[in-house]
Structure 1
Amino acid sequence: MVSVVFPAAGQAHRMQVGLNKVFLTLAGKPMLLRTLLTVSKVPAVGELIIAVGAVEVTAVKGLLSRVKGLAPWRVVEGGTERQYSIRNGLAVVSEEADIVLVHDAARPLIRRETIEELIRVVRAEGAGIVAVPEKNTIKIAAEDGTVAATPPRQTLWQVQTPQGFRKDLLIEANRRADEDNFLGTDDASLVERIGAKVHIVKG
């Protein structure tokens, strides 16, 4: 079974909105709800875990309880960092789950086919991410503000979500990160640092 953890405890600071972005509407529905409905259409998905801010737990439970078509779900309190929200979600993942996906709750336009391909890759390889090829030229900066290097564009990918992992691998990666006080920029970075290979699924 596949469990999907949704970190949704942040606010839309980049949008200059003092509101959790998952509650912003798209065509009349909160993005959170649209995202959950999309993911629920994937047959392998048996569980949704939504990590939200402490003050939002009751409201989100009320919202989801009125909606049909969702996979079984539970709401947990998120953390001060995205990584901590995912850790809280992992703590309640069902024993029956063997794969965990992590998906941004404010990304409702993910295609079902992409999710299914990611699950296939994770079953075969243990870890995978959705990403798109980088189209821009990227520079690596030196400490003095000059250009240190220009990596070949064909080696660069913009990482998206969902990201998927064997449950035991993701739990171990988070445990090791906690021990080392390591805060990663995404879930794959935690898995990479303990030596596991992460495979790319084109988004």
Structure 2
Amino acid sequence: MANNIFGIILAGGQGTRMGNAERPKQFMEIGRKPIIVHTIEKFVIHSAFDRIIVLSPKAWISHTKDLIRKYIPDHSDIIVIPGGSTRNETIMNAIRYIEENFGLDDDTIIVTHDSVRPFVSHRMIEENIQAAVEYGACDTVIPASDTIVESQDHKFISSIPDRSAMYQGQTPQSFRAKKLRDIYAGLSSAEKEILTDACKILVLKGEKVHLVEGDVTNIKITYPSDIRMAEAIMGGK
């Protein structure tokens, strides 16, 4: 197994779709604990990580640190730093921090994960690490259960892709950090603007991204109805 493996928890978003202006969605509670705490706990119990880096909105850094101290007894390997203006800039902040504090080489692996996906499993994290080591990059996905309909003008169907080749992306997404950073640094401003996630950085440049099997329970908590779904999943565990 490679040395220098870092868990990267992406908590930089403000969660505006939740309709809760008081606090970002990652700090809302399910099962009597903040969502972000459930997520961090999944990484803390995995022994492969050298450090776990949590990227938080600047205004919420001290609150995030307080939560970690309150809920996670052994938190010495957890670091909280500011996120960036976009998802990928947040990841680059994490890579920059790793390089400045621990060094960065070709074998440094990052496992990036949404702070609002608290049901990530040990198996998913383990397979992400293995795939990143073996292939250089991977994405956690599930087969699309519904037919995917494309509409270029948002009014009429432009195509209906073959569902058997379609997958829904989840996280973790894991990478050799130096390669990801170097490719991202070479993108134009226009290319950076169309990126919705880190895997697209590599796909855009013809790099292979391996698939890791996710799970339908690995939901992203985005809307109020997702809180109820999360409570139901938690109740069944």
Could you say whether these structures have the same fold, taking a TM-score greater than 0.5 normalized by the shorter chain as the test? yes
Q: After alignment, is 58-67 or 165-174 more displaced?
A: 58-67
Which of 47, 50, 54 in structure 2 is aligned with 1:50?
A: 54
Regions of 4+ moved over 4 Å: 178-181
What runs of 5+ residues in structure 1 fail to find an aligned partner?
A: none
* TM-score normalised by L of structure 1: 0.91
Equivalence map 1:61-100=2 (5 Å): 61-66=65-70, 67-70=72-75, 72-93=77-98, 94-95=102-103, 98-100=108-110
Q: After alignment, is 144-153 or 112-121 more displaced?
A: 144-153
User: Are 1:201 and 2:209 counterparts?
Assistant: no
Which of 29, 32, 37 in structure 2 is aligned with 1:25?
A: 29
Which residue number in structure 1 is paired with residue 179 of structure 2?
169
What secondary structure sits across from 1:149 in the alignment?
A: coil
Which residue number in structure 1 is paired with residue 117 of structure 2?
107
Cα shift readout 1:15-63 (whole Å, capped 9, x = no counterpart): 2112211101111111111111111111211211111111111222232
Q: CA deviation at 1:145?
A: 2.9
Over the aligned positions, Cα root-mean-square deviation in angstroms equals 1.9
Q: When the two structures are aligned, how many residues end up with a matched partner?
A: 203
Q: Which has the higher strand share?
A: 1
Indicate conservation of the 8 Å contact 2:111/2:175, yes or no.
Answer: yes
Indicate conservation of the 8 Å contact 2:142/2:169, yes or no.
Answer: yes
- AA partner of residue 126 (structure 2): E
Distance 1:138 1:179, change over 3 A: closer
Q: CA deviation at 1:178?
A: 6.2
Which of 183, 195, 198 in structure 2 is aligned with 1:187?
A: 198
Cα shift readout 1:116-158 (whole Å, capped 9, x = no counterpart): 0111111111110100000111112243832221100011000
What is the rounded CA distance, in whole Å, between the counterparts of 2:152 and 2:35 in structure 1? 39
Distance 1:63 1:115, change over 3 A: same
What secondary structure sits across from 2:186 in the alignment?
A: helix
Identity of matched residues, %? 26
Indicate conservation of the 8 Å contact 2:5/2:48, yes or no.
Answer: yes
Which residue number in structure 2 is paired with residue 6 of structure 1?
9
Which residue number in structure 2 is paired with residue 15 of structure 1?
18
* TM-score normalised by L of structure 2: 0.79
Q: Which has the higher helix share?
A: 2
Indicate conservation of the 8 Å contact 1:11/1:21, yes or no.
Answer: yes
Which residue number in structure 2 is paired with residue 152 of structure 1?
162
Indicate conservation of the 8 Å contact 1:48/1:74, yes or no.
Answer: yes
Distance 1:71 1:197, change over 3 A: farther
Equivalence map 1:138-149=2 (5 Å): 138-143=148-153, 145-149=155-159
What is the rounded CA distance, in whole Å, between the counterparts of 2:185 and 2:205 in structure 1? 11
